[in-house]
Amino acid sequence: MNKNRLLLTVSIVLLVVVFATLVIGCNSEKEELPQILSIEAEFDKTVQLSVGDVFDTSKINVTAKLSDNTTRPLKTTSQAALEYDLDALELDSMNKLTKEGKFEITVKFSTHETKLEINVAG
């Protein structure tokens, strides 16, 4: 009876070792996440800006081009990481546009940046 118990214990230990080896061996190659290659920015298709409008960065859609040849929108949690250089715009203290014309702003995410042309009607 002790011999059977010993044989059962050894068998279970061997099974555990073989199973653990298979699991570890199957997961030895970590899947690499795609990296951001560049970003693009554009206004929501419904946006038309005029003098007196409040400039709202939430209407800007920013998309990341990734190393796996896909694109993904930068939204929700990444919105906080987006930076907008609005120095080229003529804005008053209430963030309203004060001058008509074509302007170019810079949109930044991490180490990536892109330019966005903005047309403001009179």
Angstrom distance (rounded) from CA 96 to CA 114: 23
Angstrom distance (rounded) from CA 120 to CA 122: 7
Q: Which pLDDT score, from 0 to 100, does residue 29 have?
A: 62
Q: State how far the alpha carbon of 77 is from the alpha carbons of 17, 29, 109, 116, in Å.
A: 42, 29, 12, 22
| pTM summary value | 0.67
Q: Which pLDDT score, from 0 to 100, does residue 37 have?
A: 95
Q: 44, exposed or middle or buried, with CB in 10 Å at 0-12, 13-18, 19+?
A: exposed
Q: Which pLDDT score, from 0 to 100, does residue 7 have?
A: 66
Does an H or E element contain 15, and which? Answer: helix 2-26
Give the start-to-end residue ranges of the domains of the chain. Answer: 1-31, 36-121
Q: Which pLDDT score, from 0 to 100, does residue 74 have?
A: 86
Tens of pLDDT along the chain (122 residues) come to 676 676 667 677 666 766 666 666 665 566 788 999 999 999 888 889 999 999 988 889 999 999 999 999 987 555 568 888 988 998 999 999 999 999 999 999 989 999 999 999 98
Topology of domain 36-121 in CATH is: Immunoglobulin-like (2.60.40)
Q: Which pLDDT score, from 0 to 100, does residue 46 have?
A: 86
